[in-house]
Amino acid sequence: MNAPLTPGEETSLDMARGSFAPAFTLPDLTTSLPPAPFEASPAGAAEAARITALPPAGLFRRLLADQESEGVLLAARRVLAAFLAPEPDDPELPEPADADEVAAQVLAARAELAAVLAPLRTHPDPEVRTAVLRQRAPLALTGGCWLDTLSQAATQPAEIVGRLFGQHWMLQGEGTAEAGMLGRRRRALVGHGVFLSGVEAAAFLDETGARPLTALHGAFHLALSRLPASFLPEVVGVHYAAHALGLDDLLLGIEPMLAEGDVRPLLAEYLSFTEESPTGAEDRRRVLAAVRLLVRLEREHTAALAELAAWYDGLSLDARVARIVERHAPHAGRQHRAVRLGTRKLTDWLDDGQFDPAAFVREFRTARQIRPARDGGPCRFLKSIKFGGPMFGIFDEREAAVLAAWAQAVADGEPAGADLVPTTAGDEPARAWSGRLATVRPTDVLVREPEDPGDHRRFFHRLVTFERHPNVLPQARARAEAGLAEAELLFAHGADGVLTDASWFPYTPEALMERVERIYWDKLVDPYEPLTEIPSRDEVVFEQSTYALGSLIDGTWAHRIGNLGRRGRRSDDLLFSIYADEMGRGDMAKNHITIIHKVLASMDMDLPHIRQEAFLHQGDLPDHLYGFSIHQVCLSLFPDSLYNEILGYNLGIEMFGLGAMRLHEIQKLRRHGLDVSYEEAHLSIDNFSAGHARQSAEIVVAYLDEVLRGSGEEAVQREWRRIWRGYASFAYFVEHALVKRVRAAEAAAEPADAPADTPADLVI
């Protein structure tokens, strides 16, 4: 992607990363992550170059479909570099003083663009209206995706991230995708007669007729959604400008879920935070540049829509028929071999590699199939496309109406229209963006092979800041798979667990509920008796330190579930809702990461944030327990291919918040006057009556119900095995005494020279 940095440059970047950052304190007024390079393997850099060289539609599809590969994260970095680079000929404009001045500029742009869109929305020709709406759909239906994974271990509990997450939760329908912004927009499209596949469908862009500019603008949305933590100022700016302009809701004629007045306070708050930030001046520049960029993009696209509408307006009936024929010609087959058009067989016209639709229509005008019937009825061609005719069902209702109007115009002697000229709507700015993409070389990308993951602290840091370390993904995948495979030893021995039971059983909904009920009562609740002796304060604090790292990444396993193109299952909504609860649904007082930081502060643990390099050198949390948190973050990075395993892991961790262990911790903390809010929050929210523990089992049932309906019982059992190994991978770390006993027994039964098959970094 670019030449490796020199040793001197690496040193300066290491210093800039925040190696000497102060201890973390609340409230977290972070306005951007510490500057750092994006690390790329040579293979990942090469793949990123291939992805960004794809045609605009191919780039859009790849960024949407793949959220698990190094190449896509690096391609997203290139896309953002192309779009965020300043224009060399841009005039130096005075910077707005505050959010109100920004709003005045954006609202002026909104009024200007609304005046252009109004006649398109009310155009008398329904074909023009639907063409405009189809063209806008890839942007309308990717809107807001930049918030999908902004909330993550590297960004929580930043105040601005919490505010954004609260709005994201609302835009996502508060746990019901159909009630969210994209669901409402899709229903509005249907109301206007625009029926489209999901954005994730291979046919989606084809159905919309997406121009290159549309696909490129959509690629920008998607690229920002892939690297939101690294581009927090840009997320804030784009989020504000997109909702302040509100062009999609304006075009669709629906009320916005977020209006300008809802997002201006968020922008104002962010700008106030920059006044206290060591990187504040640069962050302020970045957020305002993002606002200007989004306004520019919306101007470009509005102009393209107007150009497209004007092109449709100028189409003669001949040209419209030519477009219909061109659309269907590739699928005409050889069944027309006996039909002639002029001096040529119809199959020769349609099979011609140089098919000329305009010439075809000119010849078709004189064909006998178009001549009016002697009895005054429709011509032979129109009869053939009606019910009972040999071509019935080939043309949709709108196409049939155009063909009927054209046949009547020909019969009335109207002259032929102009030759068909393809639309060029948006092509000029599209060429400019494509040119940038072809030449962009981000200067902050360091190409080198990833480090050896043997150092748990550094590996954990790279996983948490994976956006800046995309070359860690292959190692994360290997680590996740190794952990899951090793955890299957509990399929045979899990019944002996103290707090879990990962022993294998074939799935039925009843069997799953029976198992979780039994774990709840037999392992978690019935064994509880109040402690008669309370350990010393130092012992209690040390024991809390063994849990703290896992608490600092609370919810991480689910933070990438259900983002754009991945909210079609009920289980997605349910799991996203659990994650939203962990993050306080935007209320920072209820955010579990905020709560655990307060708890640790009550114990005098003065820790840096886990995103900071300084965390590598903290001395409060023991080294030997990083494996549990590393496994969780590794799982989270593969929300598509390890979806089942995440569902199982979620079941394990949500049930762990209940029962004797939690009650004992509360008793010990209270005795020494330490903060119990984190323990109490989980004991309440994870309850087995209707809380996360119960919901987690219901998520599994909901998912497997869909598998059963779509693929049958055999597929259910295959999917279930993967879910249960996800649960076992949680139990593996909780039941470390059991695992050690099982390993010791296995080792005693093996020959002395048998090779060990457990990766060294999984040893508990």
pLDDT in tens, 426-458: 999 999 999 999 999 999 999 998 888 889 999
Residue with tokens 């590699």: 353
Residue 8: exposure state from Cβ atoms within 10 A (0-12, 13-18, ≥19): exposed
**pLDDT per residue over 595-620, tens digit each?**
999 999 999 998 999 999 999 999 89
CA distance 38 to 223: 14
Parallel, antiparallel or unpaired: strands 445-447 and 38-40:
parallel
What are the backbone angles phi and psi of residue 38, rounded to the nearest 5°? -95, 120
When pLDDT is cut at 50, 70 and 90, the band that residue 13 belongs to is: very low
When pLDDT is cut at 50, 70 and 90, the band that residue 204 belongs to is: very high
Q: What is the mean pLDDT of residues 222-250?
A: 98
Single out the residue of 617, 621, 615, 637 nearest to residue 479, CA to CA. 637
Residues 6+ apart with CB under 8 A from 736: 764
Residues in the chain: 764
**pLDDT per residue over 462-521, tens digit each?**
999 999 999 999 999 999 999 999 999 999 999 999 999 999 999 999 999 999 999 999
When pLDDT is cut at 50, 70 and 90, the band that residue 556 belongs to is: very high
Single out the residue of 187, 182, 162, 161 nearest to residue 172, CA to CA. 182
* Contact between residue 726 and residue 484 where contact means Cβ atoms under 8 Å apart: yes
Residues 6+ apart with CB under 8 A from 630: 456, 459, 460, 463, 479, 761
CA distance 172 to 561: 13
Residue 76 has pLDDT above 60, yes or no: yes
pLDDT confidence of residue 762: 54
Please state, in angstroms and as integers, the Cα–Cα distance from residue 263 to each residue in 97, 150, 239, 259, 658, following that order.
Answer: 17, 17, 8, 7, 38
Q: What is the mean pLDDT of residues 234-254?
A: 98
Query: What's the DSSP call for residue 158?
Result: B
Residue 739 has pLDDT above 90, yes or no: yes
Looking at 243-382, which runs of residues are DSSP E strands? 340-341, 344-345
CA distance 710 to 200: 18
CA distance 690 to 204: 38
pLDDT confidence of residue 682: 84
Single out the residue of 510, 647, 509, 588 nearest to residue 164, CA to CA. 588
CA distance 659 to 645: 24
Q: Which two tokens stand for residue 45?
A: 């850099």
Mean pLDDT check: name the lowest of 20-34, 175-189, 514-528: 20-34
Q: Which residue has the higher pLDDT, 164 or 660?
A: 164
Residue with tokens 């892991």: 649
pLDDT confidence of residue 648: 98
Residues 6+ apart with CB under 8 A from 575: 558, 561, 562, 646, 647, 650, 699
Interhelix angle 159-171/232-245, rounded to 10 degrees, is: 40
Q: Which two tokens stand for residue 614?
A: 């300084």
pLDDT confidence of residue 1: 39
When pLDDT is cut at 50, 70 and 90, the band that residue 12 belongs to is: very low
CA distance 348 to 344: 7
Mean pLDDT check: name the lowest of 235-249, 271-285, 407-421, 737-751: 407-421
Q: Which two tokens stand for residue 742?
A: 């099982």
- Long-range contact pairs involving 80-84 (C-beta distance under 8 Å, separation at least 24): 80/220, 80/223, 80/224, 80/227, 80/231, 80/234, 81/440, 81/441, 81/442, 82/433, 82/436, 82/437, 82/440, 83/220, 83/223, 83/293, 83/433, 83/436, 84/234, 84/289, 84/290, 84/293
Mean pLDDT check: name the lowest of 49-53, 355-359, 755-759: 755-759
pLDDT confidence of residue 95: 84
CA distance 549 to 516: 26
pLDDT confidence of residue 20: 41
When pLDDT is cut at 50, 70 and 90, the band that residue 368 belongs to is: confident
When pLDDT is cut at 50, 70 and 90, the band that residue 18 belongs to is: very low
Residue 14 has pLDDT above 50, yes or no: no
**Which residues are registered as beta bridge partners of 445?**
38
Residue 266: exposure state from Cβ atoms within 10 A (0-12, 13-18, ≥19): buried
Q: What is the mean pLDDT of the chain?
A: 91
CA distance 377 to 365: 18
Query: What's the DSSP call for residue 28?
Result: B
Percentage of residues of the chain with pLDDT beyond 70: 93
pLDDT confidence of residue 348: 73
pLDDT confidence of residue 328: 84
End-to-end Cα separation, the chain, in angstroms: 39
CA distance 408 to 397: 17
Q: What is the mean pLDDT of residues 289-318?
A: 96
When pLDDT is cut at 50, 70 and 90, the band that residue 630 belongs to is: very high
Residue with tokens 């119900």: 705
CA distance 257 to 541: 45
